[in-house]
Structure 1
Amino acid sequence: MAATAERVDYFRMLIDGEWTDGVGTKVRPIVNPATEEIIAEVPDGTPDDARRAIDAASRTFREWSRLTAYERARYLKRAADLIRERTEEIAHLMTLEVGKPIKESRVEVRMAADYFEWYAEEAKRNYGDIAPQFIPQKRHWVIRQPVGVVATITPWNFPANLLARKVAPALAAGCTVVSKPDHRTPLTAMAIFKCLHDAELPAGVANLVTGDPAEIAAVFFADQRIRKISFTGSTRVGRLLMQQAAEQIKRLSLELGGHAPVLIFPDVDVDKAAQWTVRAKFRNNGQTCISPNRVYVHEQIWDAFVERVVHYTRQLRLGNGLDESTDVGPLIDANGLAKVERHVQDAIAKGAKVLCGGKRPEGDAFRKGFWFEPTVLVNVAPEMLVSCEETFGPVLPLIPFRDRDEVIERANDSPFGLAAYLLTNDLRTVIEVSERLETGMVGVWDFAPATPQCPFGGVKQSGFGSEGGWEGLKEYLVTKHISIVLEP
């Protein structure tokens, strides 16, 4: 596979059905985090480009929203088919710009297609209600209609999946869309929008813009025609967006940071639990909002579990994601690498012990790029950064516990509440613990709870709103009560 991306016609913005470089003259280089090579250049969009995209989406909304759900579904299914047909092309771009292993990129592209297909069908079940009346001469209907023009702002770590689970339900609901992908990883989003374009969606229904994140977001929040904004990113930025949304009481969905605990009880198969935990932690090099960040292990199995975790972590192959044998790629950029190093050094200074990793790898293959070895820590204390912040990197802190109430309290002792994981074979433990965990999702022997047919979202400072499931479609609908007097 090529280590750079060939220039194609869709490495541009899509506005009103046309691929365009926009009104500006600046370009932004896209860097491969494995090599630090420039793999492509894309136009650096301007606020005027964003306004043009909103113009197009606003103008087309009436036409698109009046199509039946069955008509919109045909477009989305064609797009899903095209995404699947182009899996290798899109996955290759994703690995180049994100750095993740190509096998992970393929899985993500296929799931993006699944979101478009599932919402194509789910929108057909946007049922209304007829409410019983107190007054015989009245009738009460309740219908759900598309909210309007939607803006989506997506991050770099899952550039296909997180885009699809916003854009697919919005389009299926009858909304038109203006999307802003992360400036570091726009190529995957452009390839997905190429599939929408080739599925012959009407011009202006699905628009994609690039540019400075703050400048483009400011346009979204200032324009009254944008009725809903869906954002995935950090809690820090989420707070700023809430402040901006308050000016116009603009609807928001926020999928923000996480700090997922894993609770491992003594009845498990220790080897299997260790293998699954390692696989989950180092997926996308730990750069996942639902990545296991705090692993609480019952003291009865502590020694055996720690030994197996170190064993499986040392087996991971660090390397360029284009190599089929690679298990762990680079971090996204120098800032991401610096944060991981800061967290590890803070832990060591406060008494943690590094059992493996803990540093940048050596060798010619790692002279360029943003590399850090998969790391396992013990002697982890609550005051360490790895205990209270989202590291977003390949660091696995292991923490022993003695009893159920203690570990639930420690797991919930976080401002975040996105996901938690539970490894046990006891049904009573599953029910009691999962119901007490303060998170939007609990995975029981499942470190990949995201799926098109179920809601994904958090509580506390991990945000609000859902993506996936019927709940994800409702995020793009407004409820209207129609009250009728039969004999005026």
Structure 2
Amino acid sequence: MTKSMKESSDGIDRYRMFINGEFCDSVSGETIDVESPTNEQVLFTVPKGNQQDAILALETAQAAQKAWAARPAVERGEILSKFADLIRENRERLAKILVQEMGKTYGLALGEVDVSADFINFPAQAARRLEGDILPSDLPNEHIMIHKVPYGVTVGIAAWNFPLALACRKIGPALTTGNVMVVKPPSVTPVAVLALGELAQQAGIPKGVLNLVTGGGSTMGEELVTNKITRLVTMTGSTPTGQEIFRKAAERLTAVRLELGGKAPFILLADGDVEKAVDAAVVSRHLNSGQVCTCPERFYIHDAVYDEFLEKYIAAVSKLKIGDPMEEGTDIGPKVNAHETNELEKIVKRAVDAGAKVALGGKRPEGEAFQKGHWYEPTILTDCTNDMSVMRDEVFGVVSPIMRIKSYDEALELANDSDFGLAAFLFTRDMRLIQRAVLELEFGEIYVNRPMGEQRQGFHNGHKLSGTGGEDGKYGLDNYLEKKTMYVNFND
């Protein structure tokens, strides 16, 4: 008897993994509880897969890969376009799951579903534009042809902050280019990704081409990364986890694409538009409760506009509403779990102990509505120095540490004095400084006079400890293809 995607009882939805086009439990029968960050109730369970489950998924994918790669690219693209359409048709259902398991606001969850569909559809539409090269040879009657071919079996590992979007960001280009994929979502927010299995069936994605598995990083995750079947690993998550994956993959020289942590500087110069900078800072720092790798995490504000910016920023942040993420008008929901909230609390305490002053927030909210769940108030810290941990270590939450600067050169030096290089923000009207930033800011993604938010046709990549590889657009698509050179001599 064929198993369904989920079963429900006692108010808990029990989801299954998706392997070889069918829904299945883990070999061990063990499960993982998934709690609501809003009220700490167990809402879902998912299978706790292990090495055996990982091997089954990889072998299934391997068996399906050649037939999938042999299909014309346009056919693959058509199937994936249908998959994207089904994601859009299930927009409200998927968004509600994201709110339940992750705690983000319903409006943001709807946006994540829309972006997820785009991450599938953009590469699918590019299926006819996968290109190689023909080069002139040094020999007579010969052509040099550079073919781009799929790696084969790929593994996608997604982070918990945007689990559906990050999974689809990998699925779209991987499958369009003729690869097959095993996706492992994070154990803390796995459910929306598992729900894709049913839509993959409906879209007609062949068995084994897309597999969705859940389990621990030290068991299932390690097997997925180190198994000889795996040819490419693409992962979004923390820098320490990415470094460990890099080390594990090195044994077999498996290709790795990593999008890791960030510590984005937010630079406002004397000639910058203060109103625009405040608006951008409010949105960019507090989106998804500050749990975004490209959020501004350290603020460098010029002396000439510091007081004006701080006054307006405090006023704007004070108006943000914390509360039930399903309620209209809520700006900030809970943190994803107790560990993340505790870490945020420790970071703020260390900053205050080191001399920073709390201009706003700095604690958990009070009141009956916040007795359960993982909450933290939007926090603004002043009198910060660049050697404080709050200015150097990733802070995945609604904390804004602010420093005064006297020049662009000072801001540039402070911004680049970091192990991270994912995103940066710059507010100035001076085109000379903007052009300098292109060459001098050591970050893969730079937002000039605007809030954060990359687009599908761009390229999302980090420098330094923020990653290797990159995603989106034509350059991201190319990351899922290997090159094969053919020297074709046609002498008689």
- TM-score, structure 2 as length reference: 0.96
State the alpha-carbon separation in 2 of the partners of residues 379 and 17 from structure 1.
Answer: 56
* Cα distance in 1, alignment partners of residues 435 and 450 from structure 2: 15
Q: In the alignment, which of 133, 137, 146 is matched to residue 133 of structure 1?
A: 137
AA matched with 1:108 = E
- Alignment of 1:314 with 2:333, yes or no, is no
Letter in 2 for 1:121: Q
| 1:369-388 aligned within 5 A | 369-388=373-392
1:33 pairs, out of 34, 37, 62, with: 37
Give the secondary structure class of the aligned counterpart of 2:122. Answer: helix
In structure 2, the partner of 1:147 is 151
Check whether the contact 1:441–1:449 (CA below 8 A) recurs between aligned residues: no
2:64 paired residue number: 60
Matches of 1:432 and 1:292, distance apart in 2: 20
Residues 1:478 and 1:407: Cα distance change in structure 2 (over 3 Å):
same
Distance in 2, matches of 1:268 and 1:254, equals 33
1:416 to 416, 420, 432: 420
2:146–2:486 contact (8 Å) kept in structure 1? yes
Report the CA distance shift for 1:178/1:5 in structure 2 as closer, same or farther (over 3 A). Answer: farther
Match of 1:257 among 255, 261, 265: 261
| 1:440-482 deviation per Cα after TM superposition (whole angstroms, max 9, x unaligned) | 0101123334221111010101111011011111111010111
Aligned to 1:346: 350
Deviation, structure 1 residue 83: 0.7
**In structure 1, what is the equivalent of residue 202 of structure 2?**
198
The answer for the alignment partner of 1:444 in structure 2 is: 448
Offset of residue 137 of structure 1: 2.8
| Alpha-carbon spacing, 1:5–1:72, altered in 2? closer, same or farther (3 Å) | farther
Preserved contact between residue 155 and residue 225 of structure 2 (Cα < 8 Å): no
Separation in 2, partners of 1:475, 1:151: 13
Label 1:302 to 1:5 Cα distance change in 2 as closer, same or farther (>3 A).
Answer: farther
Measured in 2, the distance between the counterparts of 1:212 and 1:272 equals 43
Quick one: distance in 2 between partners of 1:376 and 1:476?
41
- 1:43 corresponds, among 41, 47, 51, to 47
Output one character per residue of 1:413-448: Cα deviation in whole Å (capped at 9) or x when no partner: 000000001112232222112331000010112333
Equivalent residue number for residue 213 of structure 2: 209
The aligned residue for residue 295 of structure 1 is: 299
User: Deviations 1:347-387 (Å, cap 9, x if unpaired)?
Assistant: 11111110110001000000011111000010001221111
Is contact 2:314-2:360 (8 Å) kept? yes
Offset from partner CA, 1:131-180 (integer Å, 9 cap, x none): 10111132211110111100011110001111111111000110000000
Matches of 2:223 and 2:116, distance apart in 1? 27
Unaligned runs of 5+ residues in structure 2 are 1-8
The residue type paired with residue 205 of structure 2 is L
- Paired letter, 1:277: A
- What runs of 5+ residues in structure 1 fail to find an aligned partner? none
Write the distance in 2 (CA, Å) between the matches of 1:326 and 1:106: 14
* 1:333 equivalent in alignment to 2:337: yes
Task: Tell me which residue corresponds to 1:457.
Answer: 461
- Secondary structure in 1 matching 2:231: strand
Q: 1:183 and 2:187 equivalent?
A: yes
Corresponding pairs, count? 484
Report what 1:487 is aligned to. Answer: 491
In structure 1, distance between residues paired with 2:380 and 2:477:
40
Q: The residue matched to 1:316 in structure 2 has which SS?
A: coil
Alpha-carbon displacement from aligned partner over 1:383-405 (angstroms, at most 9, x marks no partner): 21111100111101111111111
Contact 2:361 2:378 in 1 (8 A): yes
Does the C-alpha gap of structure 1 residues 5 and 140 become closer, same or farther in structure 2, counting only changes over 3 Å? farther
Letter paired with 2:280: W
SS of 1:275's equivalent in the other structure is: helix
Residues in 1 aligned to 2:431 and 2:401: alpha-carbon distance in whole angstroms: 27
**Aligned residue number for residue 78 of structure 2:** 74
Aligned residue type for 1:44? K
Name the aligned partner's letter for residue 260 of structure 1: A
How far residue 46 of structure 1 moved from its aligned partner, in angstroms, is 1.9
Structure 1 stretches (4+) deviating beyond 4 angstroms? 4-9
In structure 2, the residue matched to 1:163 is: 167
Of residues 395-404 and 442-451 in structure 1, the stretch that sits farther from structure 2 once superposed is 442-451
Q: Does 1:222 align with 2:226?
A: yes
- TM-superposed deviation, 1:202: 0.4
Q: Give the counterpart letter for 1:340 in structure 2.
A: L
**Do the aligned residues in 1 keep the contact of 2:264 with 2:424 (CA within 8 Å)?**
yes
Q: Does 1:245 align with 2:245?
A: no
Identity across the alignment (%):
37
Return the alpha-carbon distance in structure 2 between the equivalents of residues 182 and 278 of structure 1. Answer: 28
Counterpart-to-counterpart distance in 2, 1:165 and 1:5: 34
The aligned residue for residue 364 of structure 1 is 368
| TM-score, normalization by structure 1 | 0.97
Which residue pairs with 1:99 in the alignment?
A: 103
Q: Distance in 1 between matches of 2:452 and 2:72?
A: 33
CA distance in 2, matches of 1:223, 1:139: 37
The 2-side partners of 1:13 and 1:139 are apart by 47
CA distance in 2, matches of 1:283, 1:6: 30
Q: CA deviation at 1:7?
A: 5.8
Aligned-partner Cα distance in 1 for 2:11–2:193 = 16
- Asked whether the 8 Å contact 1:259–1:416 carries over to 2, the reply is yes
Question: Once the two structures are superposed, what CA deviation does each residue of 1:262-321 show, in whole Å capped at 9, x if it has no partner?
Answer: 111122332231122011101011111111001111110111100001001110000121
Pick closer, same or farther for the CA change 1:148–1:74 going to 2, 3 Å: same
Instruction: Decide which of 388, 391, 400 is 1:396's aligned counterpart.
Output: 400
Q: Provide the secondary structure at the position in 2 that maps to 1:141.
A: strand
CA–CA distance in structure 2, aligned partners of residues 246 and 319 of structure 1: 45
Q: Which amino acid aligns with 1:374?
A: P
* Cα distance in 2, alignment partners of residues 304 and 410 from structure 1: 22
Q: Distance in 1 between matches of 2:374 and 2:341?
A: 6
Amino acid at match of 1:445: N
Whole-Å separation in 2 of the counterparts to 1:310 and 1:222:
48
Q: State how far apart, in whole Å, the 1-side matches of 2:67 and 2:450 are.
A: 42
| Cα offset, 1:6, TM superposition | 6.5
> Does the CA contact (< 8 Å) of 1:422 and 1:434 recur in 2?
no
For 2:425, what is the secondary structure of its paired residue? strand
CA distance in 1, matches of 2:12, 2:455: 33
